[in-house]
Chains A and B, each alone.
Chain A
Amino acid sequence: MGPKKIDKFACCNALKTVALKQAIAGMGFEALLLGIRRDEHGVRAKERYFSPRAQDFTWNVGAQPPELWDLYATVDEAAHDRIHPLLHMTELDVWRYVRREGIPVNPLYLAKDGKRFRSIGCAPCCAPIPSTATTVDEIIAELEASREPERAGRAQDKENAFTMQKLRSLGYM
């Protein structure tokens, strides 16, 4: 296992999706509350607040149930549901919310030796970005001026076209 031994797609699928499947089956979960957001990635931008998943985890992006206003589809025959309450928040919204509510943050998000993580996943495939932001206020100021996408440091998004779509259609978050 690990991206040096197998390709990134296979590694991501095994470490995240397959592991998640085992956890859901083992714990008997009916729903997962997830913090994914539309502005993170063009494929996540197509999500719904309530997203039903089949037994094999597949996400049929082209045939999602209608979701009108805030009348969400809360009753279904899906194997499990993914619930995405933060879907409409942007990266800046999250940091402004963290500041307003005084929420503790993982220190990896704060700059150390001129670098910080802007998006955190598996260690081998996440790279820090150059940054001097050591406080939440400085992160907000940095993002307000940045033109780099949030997940620029995430290798699986870039490996080849549609990797994120393939991962998500199999159940990746």
Chain B
Amino acid sequence: MKDGDSEQKGMSRRSLLKGAAAVGAMAGLGGLALNLAAPGTAEAITKKLPQKWDETWDVVVIGSGFAGLAAAAEAAGGGAKTVILEKMPIYGGNSIINGGGYAAWDEELHLRQKKNLGNDSVKQHIDDTLKGGDFFNMPALVEVMAKEAPDALNWMINEGGAQLSDVLVIGGGHTAYRAHFSAHNSGKDYTDALKKIAEKRGVKMALNSQVTWIWRKDADPKSPVLGVEVKRGAKVLNIKAKKALILASGGFSQDVEMRLAEWPKLVKEFNCTNQKGATGEMIRFSKAVGADTLHMNFIQLFPFAEPEAGILDRPAVYGFSGPGVGVIYVSKTGKRFVNELDRRDVCAFAQIALGPNMKPAYTIFTDAIPPKFGGKPAEIEAGMKKGRFIKGETIAELAKKIGAPADVLEKTIKDHNRYIAEGKDPEFNKPMKKTMIPMDKGPYYALPMWPAVHHTMGGLRINTNSQVVDVFGAVIPHLYAAGEVAGGVHGSNRLGCNATTECVVFGRIAGKNGAKEKA
């Protein structure tokens, strides 16, 4: 059957595909592969399943961030011969450059109880996450994430040797102090811990290995995914996944085309906090073998990124961690413009709404504040030299340096100090906390910030077993997804520090279940 023939006969795309699948079924192994790529082209009909496999594993994991490492570790723990394929030349994806925050309502160290920071619970974590996502979230997935959050953190501490910083932070949209930070405020603390567990259990990792196709014979609900086509250097390999293919390839924030296709507002001029490998090809390949997606247009801007390159460096975490202990955000006018404890989408678009020539905005604080969220004087000292922090002995001096009217900035800070004392923010209705520290003693600091594309909430549709679901609602056998490549946990807006939790929790579930599949 040639493509030209079918087009002349006016065959529909669907009948074409049915034909291809039928031929594949007759031919058995080595027949035609399900292929929705470029429908109507010759390739769409003739892409053949591999005749032989270059490598065979029980479980193949795509991506080496939190989710991929956790999945691989648990798959290997379940006795599966497991490999991680990472397309970049270094391991860790976005996870290794992440700020080290992990949301959990408890853990074995019981930091919140020890620090006397009030109450928290699974329910409160679920409720905050659902509310923060405007109730677009799939409640069952949120429940799994929140419920398993403490155990997954304990696992990284106990088996992987991860260490936590002795702070607990309340982040935007959360109503409790549940943001844990790793010892070095870096996701690398967790990726190293997870890698250690994975390696101990015999997981192998191959870098520079980019998936170029997912192999599945047809879209029959009983038809499993078989493996992947991988480009490694100039070689193209076919790698078989006997038990499970686990996608943990991250989001698509760096995929400008895909971003624009979902949300035209996010033009290429926006900075992006992600490593450049955060592109969406695994989602495309999954769709091509029948997978369903959801929430693809919910894309998050990180409101506090470094304004020039758009990176999320250590100071950029100050903007996120600081509001619970009293930092404020001001524009070049010297005035506040948002409830600093509000959600990321609100904080980001409040900045963009300031209008043209208003970049950057600033996080303002004094020396007394950073130690409360794990900020260190040495960081500020180093950041000053790099021009990341701007310092003024007085408010007037600081105002001059950031080009804001001194009297306005003085009034803004004075007013906010009063709101702390009175426990009420009449301007932006911020829920004032007893942990907030008034800024009444210099020196004063300003930290420039501007929103950058950060996280894609949408992705592949999964169930609570981390299995990928097809467009008809059936599970695609042997196909799993975990972490940012999957959608549904965060709804329209992710709360800070929930992503790391989601990745480790669902990575573990995918790995455990994948190892249990029949080869």
Is chain B found bound to chain A in the same assembly? no
| A→B interface (CB under 8 Å) | none
